[in-house]
Structure 1
Amino acid sequence: MDATLREKPRQGWAGLWNISFGFFGIQIGFALQNANMSRVFQTLGASMDDLPALWVAAPLTGLIVQPIIGHLSDKTWNRLGRRRPYFLTGAIFAALALFVMPLSPAFGAPLLFAAAMLWVLDASLNVSMEPFRAFVGDMLRTDQHSAGYAVQTAFIGAGAVVGSIFPYFLEQMGVANVAVDGGIPDTVKYSFWFGAFALFAAVMWTIVTTKEFSPEEMAAFGEQAETDTGQPIRALAAKTYISSAVWMAAGLVVVLLVQSLDLQKEMLLLGALLAVYGLLSAIAISMAKKGQAANMLSSIVGDFAGMPDVMKRLALVQFFSWSALFIMWINTTPVVTQYVFGSSDTASAAYNEGANWVNVLFTVYNGVAAIAALALLPVLSRKVGQVMTHSICLTLGALGFLMFFFVRDANTLLLAEVGIGIAWASILAMPYAILASNLPQAKLGIYMGLFNVFIVVPQLLVATVMGQIMLWLFPGEPIWTMLFAAAAWLIAALSMLRVKAAIPHENTHA
């Protein structure tokens, strides 16, 4: 082909649709997981105090999978393409996990089996999801990045609406919402099976309708498939082992505190993660000092240490943003069933009615997010910029969480979900739109994977630390978690001011 430097072709709405439609199916899977796994775990015998430990699978798999998949997808090229092999692999295993999840009661250890399937499901969803973020950057020219992420966010919201409302929809159609034997209700079973089919079909749509640019075409666009990895590796080789020792010591301290203060055992995972990261960073530093640059560990650790400044500042915002979201996903069902519908008995009609209302609430916030992504965010960002847009939206979401603390009427909580939905739309679009203009396009996979570390680390902290805090301060009172969520989003909103200082000429296009 002609090697003359040229731009990528401009995508029309059909192209934007096809590029991100797979995310519609992926988000159906996430929505079913987020709105129903606490219900499934409680139905299978888990107590309120068990939920954070059972949910720890989700962030842990993301922490491990996303940087690895990002690194690999940057370097992959085969007959299927660069990112599409990972879309397909993740979709197959996620669909299988969704299909067998409702069959957990048939196994000898149903709660353990359900937890294992959550690991498989979340890992597989992450395998498919992570390359989709980089896929937008691969397929679109720079002036279409914001539009691409807005469309992707709209599909995320739409998919979450479908996944969240489906159990409630089935109940209205006459499907049993309470199992006679106290097991998983038919509304949940059929929703998961529907989700398995929808996820696979949507991802296949993107795979079939899009053709990735070859390495030669990317080179012609001025975007090489590889970038110089020497600088991050040299920076890594120049580091001492002190930071690695600090991480390992911190992990040991956490483990000793768990033993001496009789803390919840899931906090051992936090200590183990700190120690393992310290060990891996020491190994990566050692490899870099020996000149062994051609390995995944050194590349990931080197890129992590050499993140662009804007990415580092956004990391703090992500940390608090996703802390609140994980609190919401774990605790909305216990809060609504206990405080609004008046029951914590998973076999009762009131509990299951409340659990289905949570699906309605999640449908509303995701529906609002889908609309806000295309209607509100572009207008607001043109007026005040992307940074202030994100700050304003996070503040509205914090007000939504505060409503949960004070409101005891199911219908009024719908208003709270409007604020949360606006914040959710911004979380899914604004940080990525900001990053898209400040990251090297050829390393979008690894940087997007590393950026997602700051999504999963706060979730791990919530899963390990929040349970202990609640046990100490508010045992049996999950309503207080909503105050923690509100405070987290307010901190994230204020932290955007640091991001603004790192962008001298902010892009004001949505």
Structure 2
Amino acid sequence: MEKRRLSFWQIWNMSFGFLGIQFGMALTGGFMSRIFQTLGAEIDDIPILWIAAPLTGLLVQPIIGYMSDRTWSPKLGRRRPYFLIGAILSSIALCLVPHSPVLWIAAGFLWILDASINISMEPFRALVADKLPDSQRSYGFVVQTLIIGIGTWVASSLPWIVSQLGVSDSADAGVIPMSVKVAFVIGAAVFLISILYTVFTTSEYPPEDMEAFEKEKQKKNQFFSDIIKNIGNMPITMKKLGLIQFFSWFAFFTMWSLANPALTEHVFNTPAPIESAFDMTNAAEAQAYDLANTSFQKSSNQVGKYMGIYGLSSMVFALLLVLYTSRRRINRKYVHMISLILGGIGFISMYFIPSPEYLVLSFTLIGFSWGSILSMPYAMLSSSVDPKKMGVIMGIFNMFIVIPQIIAAIGGINFIAGLFGDETINAMVVAGSSLIIAGLCNFLITNKKAITYQTEH
């Protein structure tokens, strides 16, 4: 089927729901470790508490991709039913997460939240490939990245913004501050509204052969065999991209799980106080704990604000690519390589910066890599696979995102960072090294159609 070229605003509308998805991801990525620490988690235990996120992605995304390939609703189409279900569940979970009374409940809510986000997220990747001709694929994924950048920037700054408006950062021991609770409620509202916007402003192409589609849908018990078959027949370009994704997402999982403890400790000199180290029956020590905890919470707001810069710089990166790819072709391979190496330098620089203001530069460089990670691999992949299997292929490709995160969560970060020393900031050095390796792995990509596609006008 010949797909018509879409205008910028049509691509914007179909991608706008990712604003909400990114609000959910940025709030969890920027503040979940802070919630864990507030509830008493030790720093070495934080990565394993995050394991819910990649595990749910490993299970949910291939299933949702497979199901959405085999779904057709005359009113909602193929992908939009999953956007809507995921948005409703995610919004509820976002409201509940910061009210967790104990650590295991917070970890459980993270599991539910990430599963819900994944229900919405995977079909969005497939929708770009469904709707756009090859000549607009890079453009479409870059527009999506632009929206993701906006979401990352605003959502990462929300607790700080809310705090500036007068909402308290102080709270009793083991209680999440009100500024975080309000930020998560705002995130929930944005998630639902932005998904609804895409659902109501975007249509989808029906299956080319409805009779054959219905016959295929009636076949039973094919899920696991189809998944295994598609994994076995994985294109060589997809395998090479998978290696790049492995090192890229190991780096970003390290940031999401450990940037807050690393930076509050190493850059702001306000580590999370350990309640057991204070005699809370003594008024002076209880006051000292409250002061230390408030300092930690305020520094955590600052870390979130600085982390938002990587969303802002990824947005600028995406905007430049939007303007360029709307008229010209790009070499996706070298764009991705250079971006990842710059991000690696940004992570490593955190070890050496003399004061917090320099985090602006660190996260700006990281944003270049983030913008590329969210667009270039998907553009390269979508030009190399069967469009009829786009949903399940995108779901399988997600394995290369979640497996490195699982390895990092079950001890990979702690082991490798421990080789550099005991300080938590060493985890950021590990993240930077991993991102540089990912960049160099781009030399493996040789498929010309994946590397570049001429945009025609």
Q: TM-score, normalised by structure 1?
A: 0.81
**1:166-195 residue CA offsets vs partner (Å, 9 max, x unmatched):** 111011111111214551011100001111
Tell which deviates more after alignment, 299-308 or 6-15: 6-15
Residues 472 and 393 from structure 1, CA distance in 2 versus in 1: closer, same or farther, beyond 3 angstroms? closer
Report the Cα offset of residue 465 of structure 1: 2.2
Which residue does the alignment assign to 1:174? 166
Which residue does the alignment assign to 2:12? 17
Q: Secondary structure, in 3 states, of the residue corresponding to 2:100?
A: helix
Contact 2:57 2:402 in 1 (8 A): yes
Q: Which amino acid aligns with 1:375?
A: L
Contact 1:76 1:82 in 2 (8 A): yes
Which residue does the alignment assign to 1:393? 339
Contact 1:342 1:350 in 2 (8 A): no
Q: Hey, what's the Cα distance between the residues in 2 that align with 1:390 and 1:470?
A: 25
Which residue does the alignment assign to 1:258? none
Which residue does the alignment assign to 1:114? 106
1:406 aligns with 2:352: yes
Q: Hey, what's the Cα distance between the residues in 1 that align with 2:453 and 2:132?
A: 18
Residues 33 and 152 from structure 1, CA distance in 2 versus in 1: closer, same or farther, beyond 3 angstroms? same
Report the Cα offset of residue 361 of structure 1: 1.6
Report the Cα offset of residue 350 of structure 1: 2.5
Q: Which of the numbers 363, 366, 369 marks the counterpart of 1:420? A: 366
Contact 1:378 1:509 in 2 (8 A): no
Which residue does the alignment assign to 1:353? 298
Which residue does the alignment assign to 1:91? 87
Which residue does the alignment assign to 1:319? 246
Q: Hey, what's the Cα distance between the residues in 1 that align with 2:256 and 2:63?
A: 26
Q: Which of the numbers 42, 45, 52 marks the counterpart of 2:40? A: 45
Residues 468 and 359 from structure 1, CA distance in 2 versus in 1: closer, same or farther, beyond 3 angstroms? closer
Report the Cα offset of residue 18 of structure 1: 1.1
Contact 1:405 1:482 in 2 (8 A): yes
Report the Cα offset of residue 502 of structure 1: 3.1
Q: Secondary structure, in 3 states, of the residue corresponding to 1:406?
A: coil
Q: Which of the numbers 94, 97, 103 marks the counterpart of 1:101? A: 97
1:158 aligns with 2:150: yes
Which residue does the alignment assign to 1:331? 258
Residues 22 and 471 from structure 1, CA distance in 2 versus in 1: closer, same or farther, beyond 3 angstroms? closer
Q: TM-score, normalised by structure 2?
A: 0.90
Task: State the superposition RMSD in angstroms.
Answer: 2.3
1:59 aligns with 2:5: no
Report the Cα offset of residue 113 of structure 1: 0.9
Q: Hey, what's the Cα distance between the residues in 2 that align with 1:506 and 1:337?
A: 40
Q: Which amino acid aligns with 1:457?
A: I
Report the Cα offset of residue 474 of structure 1: 5.9
Structure 2 unmatched runs, 5+: 274-289
Q: Hey, what's the Cα distance between the residues in 1 that align with 2:248 and 2:450?
A: 25
Contact 1:18 1:205 in 2 (8 A): yes
Which residue does the alignment assign to 2:230? 303
Contact 2:89 2:113 in 1 (8 A): yes
Residues 143 and 13 from structure 1, CA distance in 2 versus in 1: closer, same or farther, beyond 3 angstroms? same
Q: Hey, what's the Cα distance between the residues in 1 that align with 2:369 and 2:215?
A: 35
Report the Cα offset of residue 413 of structure 1: 1.2
Q: Hey, what's the Cα distance between the residues in 1 that align with 2:216 and 2:400?
A: 25
Q: Hey, what's the Cα distance between the residues in 1 that align with 2:307 and 2:176?
A: 20
Which residue does the alignment assign to 1:493? 439
1:27 aligns with 2:27: no
Q: Hey, what's the Cα distance between the residues in 2 that align with 1:169 and 1:125?
A: 24
Q: Secondary structure, in 3 states, of the residue corresponding to 2:144?
A: helix
Q: Hey, what's the Cα distance between the residues in 2 that align with 1:226 and 1:368?
A: 45
Q: Hey, what's the Cα distance between the residues in 2 that align with 1:503 and 1:301?
A: 27
Which residue does the alignment assign to 1:271? none
Tell which deviates more after alignment, 191-200 or 369-378: 369-378
Q: Hey, what's the Cα distance between the residues in 2 that align with 1:135 and 1:186?
A: 37
Q: Hey, what's the Cα distance between the residues in 1 that align with 2:450 and 2:196?
A: 39
Q: Which amino acid aligns with 1:345?
A: A
Report the Cα offset of residue 345 of structure 1: 2.6
Q: Hey, what's the Cα distance between the residues in 2 that align with 1:135 and 1:374?
A: 20
Tell which deviates more after alignment, 388-397 or 349-358: 349-358
Report the Cα offset of residue 351 of structure 1: 1.3
Residues 383 and 303 from structure 1, CA distance in 2 versus in 1: closer, same or farther, beyond 3 angstroms? closer
1:459 aligns with 2:386: no
Q: Hey, what's the Cα distance between the residues in 1 that align with 2:85 and 2:220?
A: 28
**1:372-412 residue CA offsets vs partner (Å, 9 max, x unmatched):** 01215764996861101100111111110111111131111
Contact 1:373 1:425 in 2 (8 A): yes
Residues 127 and 140 from structure 1, CA distance in 2 versus in 1: closer, same or farther, beyond 3 angstroms? same
Report the Cα offset of residue 507 of structure 1: 1.6
1:82 aligns with 2:78: yes
Q: Hey, what's the Cα distance between the residues in 1 that align with 2:216 and 2:238?
A: 19
Q: Hey, what's the Cα distance between the residues in 2 that align with 1:399 and 1:204?
A: 38
How many matched pairs? Answer: 433
Q: Hey, what's the Cα distance between the residues in 2 that align with 1:85 and 1:410?
A: 44
Residues 393 and 508 from structure 1, CA distance in 2 versus in 1: closer, same or farther, beyond 3 angstroms? farther
Q: Which amino acid aligns with 1:371?
A: V
